[in-house]
Structure 1
Amino acid sequence: MTNTNSTKTIAVYGATGHTGGYLLAELRRRELTPVLVGRDADRLRTAATAADLADADIRVASLDDHDALVAAFRDADVVISSLPAYVDHGEAVLSAAIDADAHYTDLSGEQLFVRRVFEDYSARAEAAGITLVPAVTDSNLPGDLLGHLTSRRVDGAAEITISHHSRSGGDGSRGSAETVLASVDWFREGGWHYADSGWQTGRPPVAELRYPTEQPRPASKFPLTPVLTIPRHSAVSSVTGLLPTEFHEGLKKLTADVVAALPATPDPASDLHYDLVVDAEGSGKSVRGVLSGLDSYRDSALMAVEAAVRLAENTTKPGALAAAEAFDATDFLDALAPHGITWRIEEL
């Protein structure tokens, strides 16, 4: 990396959104002054002022200008990409980060994009000595880390299911809806699950979810990204993402007009507490991992900054890595405790 000082430089693309505000607040809390990159200097200055980052370095670069993006990221140790619809927009920031010699992480949640990261960019990053850790969100990062930990508590290849329970009932920001809309058919169809040593489409038989403190609920397959990452590092026979069936019913009504009418930020009255649940079964033994958090948007930002700070230490092997390949799972999860994010593993 180009920055050899003890203070590391973290660039943020997408700082003006709802989650971007949480990213900047956490960087300020850590006394890190970020580089803010985007297409609108005035909006970037407004975001910096709101986060009390008067000394933030503002750089203008649009997603369709690769050279400008590379120049903006050139002296950064790590780039955090915070965007809606990575499947449409994510590769521009990813490619520029590699060419700028900067490690990279993002808050993506789209299987189609994350698979591209591993298949199309890993070798390029490895050749450049760069580490890419995509899909750092409240569901995907703990899903991967808990998948790593729970699969080792059962004998043989584990059968893993991952589910996310939001007490808000799935109500979120316009950006989240834009992300789903960009790949809405993929979300409606359930995406990939892992079985028989490969990724498959179609719907495996699933009857119900068993969330903590709740009665069982009907469930449907959902394309969570740990389906792609857990088999990279853990012995598993299957990995399936699930959400309550009523969420899929809402997807049937999702259109561009519906998304445009949504508020930019979640309803302040919404209860944004959530549980991310990973169930692992093997040889007659069942183990459950649960991460519980306060706000999916805030917590995803906290996790992304934690990942970026660790990547800036330059101790991780290059290439595209799952979270559990890049970081010690227990140590990373424990580091979230000061923010009110808790986790546990229990036998069922």
Structure 2
Amino acid sequence: MYRLVFTQVLSRLDAEAVHHLTIRLLRLLGMFPPLVRLLHRLLAPRAESLRVQAFGVHFASPFGLAAGFDKDAGCAEPLSALGFGYVEVGTITAHAQPGNPRPRLFRLPESRAIINRMGFNNAGAAAAAKRLRRVRHIPAVVGVNIGKTKVVPESEAVRDYVDSARRLAPLADYLVVNVSSPNTPGLRDLQAVDRLRPLLSAVKEAAGRTPLLVKIAPDLADEDVDAVAELAAELGLAGVIATNTTISREGVASTEAGGLSGRPLKARSLEVLRRLRQKAGDRLTLVSVGGVEDVDDVWERLLAGATLVQGYTGLIYEGPLWPSRINRQLARRLRRHGYGSVREIVGRTA
């Protein structure tokens, strides 16, 4: 049914307008806790085999929603009720900013992909912190993804990230430093190890006991992926999220500027995951994202060494029942192969 609605109606409307309408509907749903609890009872992962622990946090399922959908931390609870094992909100910046000019979000249905150049549009860390303080009516693991405010010069980037971390880390189950979006000028330069070290060190101190991860780009050279893995392990980070969107246009017809997500990113995201696992072993928790469309992709990422897996573009093309369906299929596959827990398959082909 959703695919028919998407093809006949949603795909004909402006992509960002549909996204904002979806967010408003989810926020409206969040105003009725009994409905959220009902959805959670119907759709949330229940199978004991799906439960996993990473960096001291318990997840009902290894499959979660990547950052970029709930940019302002306004609907993490309703999204969790749809069946995601966890929801990563953001990217949130220390100061409010409007993002880049519209249009800035483009669907590529023939490639099962999306291009966005949103530019970290959000209401800022203070507004997000206010929303994250709300009482949760269902169990929900919420990660917070932080980035650099666009108008802040690169020389002050560390302070900008630290400001966000101090506000948001106490309210997050885990914190993510995003240095890999292609839509903020100069941001990806911070992935260079000599610049990344002081940034991560400062944010880790500001985060306190909250687990800290770093999110990297798929466009990094292999040797730079290795260097980031070594740095993250050396600094005692909780893990690495691989990968963000790509600036490559291989396999798609569009030349729109921005970050490409979805199916075309699948192969490179898996390559980076395998390289991180080879380099870091089990010293870091690896979170795989990029081109995850179905249970086969989730299964492959787990086997390759990811403890957690994220999706986003698949939600756009598959609809609100997508996370619940993947969880059911994953639990069935575990049973069929004789595994009692998802933990038993992590890294088996690494």
TM bucket by the smaller chain?
0.3 to 0.5
Greater share of strand residues, 1 or 2? 1
TM (normalized to structure 1)? Answer: 0.33
More helix by share: 2
